Structure 1
Protein backbone atom coordinates (compact mmCIF):
# COMPACT_ATOMS: atom_id res chain seq x y z
CA UNK A 1 0.00 0.00 0.00
CA UNK A 2 1.30 3.47 -0.91
CA UNK A 3 1.61 5.61 2.23
CA UNK A 4 0.81 9.22 1.40
CA UNK A 5 -1.03 11.73 3.49
CA UNK A 6 -3.21 14.13 1.54
CA UNK A 7 -5.31 16.69 3.34
CA UNK A 8 -7.81 19.09 1.85
CA UNK A 9 -8.02 22.72 2.93
CA UNK A 10 -10.67 25.22 1.87
CA UNK A 11 -9.26 28.58 0.77
CA UNK A 12 -10.87 31.88 -0.12
CA UNK A 13 -8.44 32.87 -2.90
CA UNK A 14 -6.80 29.91 -4.63
CA UNK A 15 -4.17 31.89 -6.56
CA UNK A 16 -3.12 33.83 -3.47
CA UNK A 17 -2.89 30.61 -1.42
CA UNK A 18 -0.85 28.88 -4.13
CA UNK A 19 1.60 31.79 -4.11
CA UNK A 20 1.77 31.69 -0.29
CA UNK A 21 2.64 28.00 -0.16
CA UNK A 22 5.02 28.27 -3.13
CA UNK A 23 6.92 30.86 -1.08
CA UNK A 24 7.40 28.16 1.58
CA UNK A 25 8.81 25.76 -1.02
CA UNK A 26 5.68 23.71 -1.75
CA UNK A 27 5.26 22.88 -5.43
CA UNK A 28 2.08 22.58 -7.48
CA UNK A 29 1.35 19.30 -9.25
CA UNK A 30 -0.40 20.57 -12.41
CA UNK A 31 -1.70 17.11 -13.33
CA UNK A 32 -4.17 17.31 -10.43
CA UNK A 33 -4.83 21.04 -10.34
CA UNK A 34 -7.38 23.30 -12.02
CA UNK A 35 -9.30 26.51 -11.37
CA UNK A 36 -10.97 24.92 -8.31
CA UNK A 37 -8.05 23.19 -6.64
CA UNK A 38 -4.27 23.02 -6.47
CA UNK A 39 -2.49 19.83 -5.52
CA UNK A 40 0.62 20.92 -3.60
CA UNK A 41 3.61 18.71 -2.78
CA UNK A 42 4.64 19.50 0.77
CA UNK A 43 7.25 16.86 1.64
CA UNK A 44 8.89 14.71 -1.05
CA UNK A 45 5.62 13.35 -2.44
CA UNK A 46 4.63 11.73 0.86
CA UNK A 47 2.65 14.64 2.29
CA UNK A 48 0.44 16.71 0.06
CA UNK A 49 -2.23 19.33 0.49
CA UNK A 50 -5.14 19.94 -1.85
CA UNK A 51 -6.03 23.61 -1.68
CA UNK A 52 -9.68 23.93 -2.71
CA UNK A 53 -11.88 26.92 -3.28
CA UNK A 54 -14.52 27.02 -0.56
CA UNK A 55 -17.25 26.33 -3.15
CA UNK A 56 -15.46 23.24 -4.46
CA UNK A 57 -14.63 22.05 -0.94
CA UNK A 58 -18.33 22.39 -0.02
CA UNK A 59 -19.28 19.97 -2.80
CA UNK A 60 -17.64 17.13 -0.81
CA UNK A 61 -19.63 17.56 2.39
CA UNK A 62 -23.02 18.69 3.63
CA UNK A 63 -21.41 20.26 6.69
CA UNK A 64 -20.64 23.97 6.70
CA UNK A 65 -17.08 24.99 5.91
CA UNK A 66 -15.34 26.06 9.11
CA UNK A 67 -13.85 29.53 8.97
CA UNK A 68 -10.41 28.74 10.33
CA UNK A 69 -9.91 32.31 11.58
CA UNK A 70 -12.92 31.78 13.87
CA UNK A 71 -12.70 28.10 14.87
CA UNK A 72 -10.16 25.34 14.64
CA UNK A 73 -10.40 21.63 14.05
CA UNK A 74 -6.81 20.65 13.38
CA UNK A 75 -3.25 21.92 13.66
CA UNK A 76 -1.03 20.64 10.88
CA UNK A 77 2.39 19.80 12.29
CA UNK A 78 5.49 19.33 10.13
CA UNK A 79 8.73 17.97 11.52
CA UNK A 80 11.91 19.82 10.55
CA UNK A 81 15.51 18.64 10.38
CA UNK A 82 16.88 21.47 12.52
CA UNK A 83 16.03 24.56 14.54
CA UNK A 84 17.39 26.58 11.62
CA UNK A 85 14.86 24.96 9.28
CA UNK A 86 12.04 25.88 11.69
CA UNK A 87 13.25 29.49 11.78
CA UNK A 88 13.74 29.61 8.00
CA UNK A 89 10.23 28.36 7.24
CA UNK A 90 8.74 30.77 9.79
CA UNK A 91 10.61 33.64 8.13
CA UNK A 92 9.31 32.57 4.70
CA UNK A 93 5.75 32.23 6.02
CA UNK A 94 5.91 35.66 7.65
CA UNK A 95 7.27 37.26 4.47
CA UNK A 96 4.42 35.64 2.51
CA UNK A 97 1.76 37.06 4.84
CA UNK A 98 1.38 34.54 7.67
CA UNK A 99 0.44 35.58 11.18
CA UNK A 100 2.61 34.25 14.00
CA UNK A 101 0.35 33.37 16.97
CA UNK A 102 3.07 32.77 19.58
CA UNK A 103 6.83 33.05 20.05
CA UNK A 104 9.05 30.00 19.48
CA UNK A 105 9.09 27.45 22.26
CA UNK A 106 12.46 25.95 23.18
CA UNK A 107 12.27 22.99 25.53
CA UNK A 108 15.82 21.82 24.87
CA UNK A 109 14.76 18.45 23.44
CA UNK A 110 12.17 20.12 21.20
CA UNK A 111 11.92 23.47 19.42
CA UNK A 112 8.75 24.65 17.72
CA UNK A 113 7.00 27.64 16.25
CA UNK A 114 3.67 27.99 14.51
CA UNK A 115 2.04 30.15 11.90
CA UNK A 116 -1.45 30.89 10.67
CA UNK A 117 -1.79 30.77 6.88
CA UNK A 118 -3.81 33.25 4.83
CA UNK A 119 -7.09 31.47 5.61
CA UNK A 120 -6.37 30.96 9.31
CA UNK A 121 -5.31 27.29 9.17
CA UNK A 122 -2.76 26.59 11.90
CA UNK A 123 0.60 25.03 11.07
CA UNK A 124 3.25 24.02 13.58
CA UNK A 125 6.90 23.42 12.72
CA UNK A 126 8.86 21.29 15.13
CA UNK A 127 12.42 20.02 15.55
CA UNK A 128 13.03 17.22 18.01
CA UNK A 129 16.50 16.29 19.27
CA UNK A 130 17.63 12.88 18.06
CA UNK A 131 17.28 10.10 20.62
CA UNK A 132 20.57 8.68 21.84
Structure 2
Protein backbone atom coordinates (compact mmCIF):
# COMPACT_ATOMS: atom_id res chain seq x y z
CA UNK A 1 0.00 0.00 0.00
CA UNK A 2 1.31 3.45 -0.91
CA UNK A 3 1.06 6.13 1.77
CA UNK A 4 -1.21 9.06 1.05
CA UNK A 5 -0.74 12.44 2.72
CA UNK A 6 -3.71 14.48 3.96
CA UNK A 7 -2.80 17.91 5.28
CA UNK A 8 -5.51 19.78 7.16
CA UNK A 9 -5.36 23.57 6.91
CA UNK A 10 -7.77 26.21 8.21
CA UNK A 11 -9.58 28.78 6.11
CA UNK A 12 -11.81 31.72 6.87
CA UNK A 13 -13.40 31.53 3.39
CA UNK A 14 -13.91 28.06 1.91
CA UNK A 15 -15.02 29.23 -1.56
CA UNK A 16 -12.02 31.56 -1.83
CA UNK A 17 -9.70 28.69 -0.86
CA UNK A 18 -11.22 26.37 -3.44
CA UNK A 19 -10.78 29.00 -6.15
CA UNK A 20 -7.19 29.66 -5.07
CA UNK A 21 -6.05 26.04 -5.06
CA UNK A 22 -7.75 25.17 -8.33
CA UNK A 23 -6.01 28.22 -9.88
CA UNK A 24 -2.71 26.54 -8.87
CA UNK A 25 -3.73 23.43 -10.81
CA UNK A 26 -5.12 21.28 -7.99
CA UNK A 27 -8.44 19.49 -8.29
CA UNK A 28 -11.32 19.07 -5.86
CA UNK A 29 -12.72 15.69 -4.81
CA UNK A 30 -16.47 16.34 -4.50
CA UNK A 31 -17.00 13.16 -2.45
CA UNK A 32 -15.14 14.76 0.46
CA UNK A 33 -16.24 18.36 -0.06
CA UNK A 34 -19.20 20.03 1.62
CA UNK A 35 -20.10 23.35 3.27
CA UNK A 36 -17.40 22.84 5.96
CA UNK A 37 -14.47 21.39 4.04
CA UNK A 38 -12.95 20.84 0.61
CA UNK A 39 -10.66 18.01 -0.41
CA UNK A 40 -7.96 19.59 -2.57
CA UNK A 41 -6.24 17.00 -4.77
CA UNK A 42 -2.61 17.65 -5.72
CA UNK A 43 -2.06 14.14 -7.09
CA UNK A 44 -3.12 10.60 -6.27
CA UNK A 45 -1.17 10.67 -2.98
CA UNK A 46 -1.24 14.26 -1.72
CA UNK A 47 -4.37 16.05 -0.52
CA UNK A 48 -5.27 19.18 1.44
CA UNK A 49 -8.36 19.18 3.56
CA UNK A 50 -9.20 22.88 3.65
CA UNK A 51 -11.45 23.25 6.66
CA UNK A 52 -13.47 26.21 7.89
CA UNK A 53 -11.81 27.37 11.11
CA UNK A 54 -14.85 26.40 13.22
CA UNK A 55 -14.90 22.90 11.72
CA UNK A 56 -11.12 22.54 12.07
CA UNK A 57 -11.55 23.29 15.80
CA UNK A 58 -13.73 20.20 16.24
CA UNK A 59 -10.69 17.97 15.56
CA UNK A 60 -8.52 19.28 18.41
CA UNK A 61 -8.65 20.78 21.87
CA UNK A 62 -5.66 22.98 21.03
CA UNK A 63 -6.00 26.57 19.81
CA UNK A 64 -6.04 26.90 16.03
CA UNK A 65 -3.10 29.01 14.87
CA UNK A 66 -3.86 32.05 12.75
CA UNK A 67 -1.73 31.47 9.64
CA UNK A 68 -1.62 35.24 9.02
CA UNK A 69 0.49 35.70 12.16
CA UNK A 70 1.83 32.26 13.13
CA UNK A 71 3.74 29.74 11.04
CA UNK A 72 2.82 26.28 12.20
CA UNK A 73 3.92 24.44 9.08
CA UNK A 74 5.34 25.26 5.68
CA UNK A 75 4.64 22.85 2.87
CA UNK A 76 6.92 22.46 -0.13
CA UNK A 77 6.10 21.02 -3.54
CA UNK A 78 8.64 20.06 -6.18
CA UNK A 79 8.18 21.19 -9.76
CA UNK A 80 9.71 19.99 -13.03
CA UNK A 81 11.53 23.25 -13.87
CA UNK A 82 12.27 26.79 -12.74
CA UNK A 83 9.64 27.94 -15.21
CA UNK A 84 7.07 25.66 -13.56
CA UNK A 85 7.93 27.23 -10.19
CA UNK A 86 7.44 30.72 -11.64
CA UNK A 87 4.20 29.69 -13.35
CA UNK A 88 2.56 28.33 -10.18
CA UNK A 89 3.64 31.39 -8.18
CA UNK A 90 2.22 33.75 -10.81
CA UNK A 91 -1.05 31.77 -10.84
CA UNK A 92 -1.18 31.96 -7.04
CA UNK A 93 -0.54 35.71 -7.01
CA UNK A 94 -3.27 36.24 -9.61
CA UNK A 95 -5.66 34.16 -7.45
CA UNK A 96 -5.15 36.29 -4.34
CA UNK A 97 -2.01 34.81 -2.77
CA UNK A 98 1.08 36.76 -1.75
CA UNK A 99 4.80 36.16 -2.05
CA UNK A 100 6.31 36.78 1.38
CA UNK A 101 9.96 36.86 0.28
CA UNK A 102 12.08 37.02 -2.87
CA UNK A 103 12.94 33.88 -4.83
CA UNK A 104 15.91 31.90 -3.54
CA UNK A 105 18.36 30.66 -6.15
CA UNK A 106 21.06 28.40 -4.75
CA UNK A 107 22.21 27.23 -8.17
CA UNK A 108 21.30 23.60 -7.57
CA UNK A 109 17.86 24.59 -6.23
CA UNK A 110 15.43 27.36 -7.10
CA UNK A 111 12.50 28.07 -4.79
CA UNK A 112 9.74 30.59 -4.25
CA UNK A 113 7.26 30.90 -1.41
CA UNK A 114 3.55 31.60 -1.69
CA UNK A 115 1.06 32.35 1.06
CA UNK A 116 -2.54 31.47 0.31
CA UNK A 117 -5.19 34.14 1.08
CA UNK A 118 -5.49 32.79 4.64
CA UNK A 119 -1.71 33.00 5.18
CA UNK A 120 -0.94 29.27 4.94
CA UNK A 121 2.64 28.94 3.65
CA UNK A 122 3.50 26.97 0.52
CA UNK A 123 6.85 26.56 -1.16
CA UNK A 124 7.50 25.51 -4.73
CA UNK A 125 10.95 24.34 -5.75
CA UNK A 126 12.96 22.93 -8.58
CA UNK A 127 16.13 20.97 -7.84
CA UNK A 128 18.66 20.19 -10.54
CA UNK A 129 18.52 16.42 -11.17
CA UNK A 130 22.24 15.97 -10.43
CA UNK A 131 21.84 17.64 -7.04
CA UNK A 132 18.74 15.59 -6.26
CA UNK A 133 20.54 12.34 -7.08
CA UNK A 134 24.09 13.05 -5.84
CA UNK A 135 23.70 16.01 -3.45
CA UNK A 136 24.32 19.73 -3.85
CA UNK A 137 28.11 19.42 -3.65
CA UNK A 138 28.22 17.20 -6.77
CA UNK A 139 26.28 19.85 -8.70
CA UNK A 140 28.56 22.64 -7.45
CA UNK A 141 31.68 20.60 -8.34
CA UNK A 142 30.46 20.49 -11.96
CA UNK A 143 29.22 24.11 -11.91
CA UNK A 144 31.94 26.20 -10.19
CA UNK A 145 30.04 29.40 -10.96
CA UNK A 146 27.81 28.46 -8.00
CA UNK A 147 30.67 27.74 -5.56
CA UNK A 148 30.19 31.02 -3.68
CA UNK A 149 26.39 30.86 -3.45
CA UNK A 150 25.43 30.43 0.22
CA UNK A 151 23.71 27.12 0.91
CA UNK A 152 21.86 26.68 4.21
CA UNK A 153 23.53 24.09 6.39
CA UNK A 154 26.63 24.06 4.17
CA UNK A 155 28.22 27.53 4.38
Name which one, 1 or 2, has greater alpha-carbon Rg.
2
Q: Where do 1:10-21 residues align within 5 Å?
A: 10-21=10-21
State the structure with bigger RCO (CA 8 A, min sep 6), 1 or 2.
1
SS in 2 for 1:65: coil
What's the CA shift for 1:103?
1.2
Return structure 1 stretches of 4+ with deviation > 2 angstroms: none
Is structure 2 residue 80 aligned with structure 1 residue 81? Answer: yes
The residue number in structure 1 matching 2:142 is none
- Mapped pair 1:24 → 2:21: no
Q: In the aligned structure 2, how far is the partner of 1:60 from the partner of 1:38?
A: 15
Aligned residue in 1 for 2:116:
117
CA separation in 1, counterparts of 2:33 and 2:129? Answer: 37
Q: Distance in 2 between matches of 1:108 and 1:94?
A: 24
The question of 1:37 aligning with 2:3 is answered no
How many equivalent pairs are there?
131
* TM-score, reference length from structure 1: 0.96
Which is richer in helix? Answer: 2
Distance 2:63 2:101 in 1: 28
Match for residue 129 of structure 2? 130
- The TM-score normalised by the length of structure 2 is 0.82
Unpaired runs of at least 5, structure 1: none
Q: In structure 1, how many angstroms separate the alpha carbons of the residues matched to 2:123 and 2:30?
A: 26
Aligned residue number for residue 67 of structure 1: 66
Distance 1:7 1:70 in 2: 19
* Structure with greater proportional strand content: 1
Question: What is the RMSD computed on CA atoms of the aligned residues?
Answer: 0.9
